[in-house]
Amino acid sequence: MSKKPIRRALVSVYNKEGLEPVIHALGKSGVDFVSTGGTRQFIESLGYKVIPVEDLTGYPSVFGGRVKTLHPAVFGGILYRRDNESDQREAHRHGIASIDLVLVDLYPFEETVAAGALEEEVIEKIDIGGVSLIRAAAKNYKDVLVVSSRRQYARLLEVLEETSCMPTEEHRRQFAVMAFDVTSHYDTSIFNWFNQDGQVPSFKKSIQGGRSLRYGENPHQWGKFYGPLDDLFEQLHGKELSYNNLVDIDAACGLLEEFSGETAFVIIKHTNACGVATGTTVHEAYVKALQADPVSAFGGILATNKLVDAKAAEEINKLFFEILIAPAFSADALNLLTSKKNRILLVQKKSLHQETQFKSLLNGVLEQQADNQTETEAQLKVVTHRPPTPQETAAMLFASRIAKHSKSNTIVLAVDGQMLASGVGQTSRVDALKQAIEKAKSFGFSLQGAVMASDAFFPFADSVEIAHRAGITAVIQPGGSVRDQESIDFCNAHNMAMVFTGYRHFRH
């Protein structure tokens, strides 16, 4: 594909980091520099002559630097088509010299917003000239090379070396694609900042950086993940993460967030908890969590919020599992757990807390506020004659946190600090309860004195009747059914305690 030499470069960057080797590479190839302000001073400090933009335009920088490069002498030099005779004549008539490389690093708008800056400062970090230069150069990629971010400098240096400063059209188009990625992301960030109150009903999200996965949910589907996953996790060992791994990791870490301040262990299979427990140590919490369903735990996703030491690792190592997530691993634990090459060990660096969620659906996107509501004892409304004991209250709050993260319809049976069983993803609440009771009994648990949590209200009293026969003594649910009183009356007649939370936690 056609090579074109770079004879003149317009350089305008906010952040000078990494720029020096690029300037040297261009300067040694005899490229003329055009620049302004601080970038001009930086290039001159490296020993190269610079044509001030003001000399090119015949006009000074005005309005505190808001207008510097917005001029036909600049944009004409970028946009005129070198193979178009009419454009060539016009450029010659107006004395417009060609610009072959545009190198820009935009004002840090997102960083300024993230730092909590005042509106006036945020507004001033909306780059106008830089975005315009990038778009113009990208549009005319057949003649111009555009570099739109300092993150592209390494690739630029490779291209300059490979081509002796004569990039091909393929190179120019590659950089043009990256340029429109930069500008579209930048504009999306600005729009979302201006539209925080949602007055414009438009869904715009931009996530830069992605990776191809081995496949999607099933082997016949392709899959990709977009986002800075390395900001959240460091992978210490094991094979590449899959689509389903990532879905389950999200579920595991989301549930684990509910137990901040405690030593907790969760075991996830197909996004549902098959074991959850707290304890004084990771070892104790793991052993208790595994008891709930050691069959489903096989091949599961394991997560804890405390350091995994050697004692915990020795116990965990007995189980075949896909992934273990922890904030840290002791050296002895790591040595033991890495004995199987495919096991994935992840260090979680920070919280997964989110304020909003979205997913594609039908011919559009659903967006909602994330369910960050976690009930406390003070919010519970006792609706039965007998109030729950302190032990029952603690167990109900524990079970309710698990139910919140389970597929509806769901029922969770628990004692304080240990899930005994759950019924998840059922089309009726009665079926979910029966599933949970059967599972608890199959793994040797007595339900005498246990509690029951439901993600939504009971439409009839049948669920509390079944629970009572199984030995359950206390129930936590949102309330809100027109037949609530029937369930309350049954509990009163059988000395059961029931509390309402006022919050439903459907999960589909």
Residue ranges with strand state E in 290-362: 300-304, 321-326, 344-348, 356-361
Catalytically annotated residue among 3, 270, 306, 434 = 270
Q: Give dist(CA 9, CA 145) in Å, integer.
A: 9
Nearest to 452 by CA among 408, 400, 490, 405: 400
- DSSP structure class, residue 241: P
Q: Which two tokens stand for residue 476?
A: 């936590």
Whether omega before 495 lies within 30 degrees of 0, making that bond cis, reads no
Q: Which of 16, 24, 71, 139 is catalytic?
A: 139
Active-site annotation holds for 139:
yes
Q: Are strands 344-348 and 474-477 parallel, antiparallel or unpaired?
A: unpaired
Inter-axis angle of helices 153-163 and 19-28, nearest 10: 20
Residue 481 contacts by C-beta under 8 Å, 6 or more apart in sequence?
457, 458, 459, 487
Token pair belonging to 461: 């009293």
Is 71 within 8 Å of 49 (Cβ atoms)? no
Give catalytic status of residue 270 as yes or no.
yes
Cα angle for residues 481, 483, 489 (degrees, 5° grid): 120
> Which residues belong to the active site?
139, 270
